[in-house]
Amino acid sequence: MATFLSSVLLLVLRTYAAPPEHVQVWPGGWTQAPGEAGNETLTPSLVPPPGTAQHAPHSIIIGVRKGGTRALLEMLDIHPEVAAAATEVHFFDWDENYVRGLEWYREQMPYSYPHQITVEKTPGYFTSPAAPARICAMNPSIKLLLILRDPTERVVSDYTQVYFNRLENRKPVQAIERMLVKNGALNTRYKAIQRSLYDVHMRNWLQYFPLRQIHIVDGDTLIRDPLPELQRVERFLDLPPRIHASNFYFNQTKGFYCIRSDGHERCLHESKGRPHPPVNGTVLRQLRSYLRQHNRDFYRLIGRTFNWH
């Protein structure tokens, strides 16, 4: 609890500098025109590098929220043949964006060279009832990446993210047990729990895409040992092997792997890998037991098991 409280304090002291991931910034690949340096507000006078163009994605990271989607995208972006969208586009899950049409969607993509593939990630797609049909309508042979972690752990991570967002927006917060339990029973309508019902969401995707088109990344393994997971993704996307052990180093302070690429070292934003609050043991057991059957059903659907308790 002490670490959780101290990180809450840190957050309050900091200046909330990072934009939420869905806030649109200029797509990656743009270069600044001469004379623009130091300009605080980005203007449309930015020019794309010669020989580049914007393309609809070749692959989409569809989720799951808090599964490690940012880590996966940033790590995949090490690959010289990958152009990753800078922000979450929310095209297939937000109606107000979907009505803008595919041309608008393409315009949100990074500028890429002809030898590169475009990858976008929006974790909300996995749990969106509309997203699978819409993505299929755009490209039925698209390759989908789904990163999952222990669904109980994911619930706590989801709560933690909302908790910090509410703090930032000076909204009241509640203890996790207040969200997980209603009238003495597990509150199965709590959105964070609903999002962890992987079997329910997966069934919807499998109505539109064969399993071989959905590569599942083990988010728990990605935290402990990212390279093998990234190598599997390279093979799934038919990319030559260009991501190596030297691209990762463990940062003791952050407690996570960080990225070394093009002579630069960087860790994920501080909102990734935050300490979780302690959860009452009885409530946690109730949650685990509720998710157990859903996990089994999910294993059956995908023909693979995970070490989720």
Choice between 150 and 234, CB closer to ligand A3P: 150
Contact 82, 117 (CB under 8 A): yes
- The answer to the question of whether 281 is labelled as a binding residue is no
List 66, 143, 182, 254, catalytic entry: 66
Q: How far is the CB of 103 from ligand A3P (least distance, A)?
A: 28
300 annotated to a ligand binding site: no
Residues with Cβ within 8 Å of 18's Cβ and at least 6 positions away in sequence, in order, are 269, 270, 271
Please tell me whether residue 220 adopts helix, strand or coil conformation. Answer: helix
Q: 69 labelled as ligand-binding?
A: yes
CB of 21 to ligand A3P, least distance (A): 8
184 labeled binding residue: no
Which one, of 115, 124, 58, 51, lies nearest residue 85 by Cα? 58
User: Is the Cβ of residue 192 or residue 202 nearer to ligand A3P in the bound state?
Assistant: 192
Antiparallel, parallel or unpaired: β 248-251 and 256-261: antiparallel
Cβ-based nearer residue to ligand A3P, 94 or 248: 248
Q: Report the 10 Å Cβ neighbour count for 126.
A: 27
Our CB check for ligand A3P shows the closer of 68 and 151 to be 68
Looking up tokens 């997971």 gives 229
Task: Let me know: does 112 contact 105? Beta carbons within 8 Å.
Answer: no
Residues that bind ligand A3P (CB under 6 A): 65-71, 123, 157, 160, 222-223, 256-257, 268, 272-274
CB of residue 159 to ligand A3P, shortest distance in Å? 9
Q: Is 66 marked as a binding-site residue?
A: yes
Query: Annotated binding residue at 149?
Result: yes
- Exposure string for 237-273, b = 16+ CB within 10 A, e = fewer: bebeeebeeebbeebeeeebbbbebeeeeebbeebbb
Q: Where are the beta strands (DSSP E) in 131-287?
A: 143-148, 181-182, 185-186, 214-218, 248-251, 256-261, 264-266
66 is catalytic: yes
Question: Smaller CB distance to ligand A3P: residue 221 or 286?
Answer: 221
**Shortest Å distance, C-beta 94 to ligand A3P:** 17
Residue 45 Cβ vs ligand A3P, minimum distance, rounded to whole Å: 32
Could you tell me which residues are annotated as the binding site? 66-70, 149, 157, 257, 272-276
Catalytic positions, please? 66
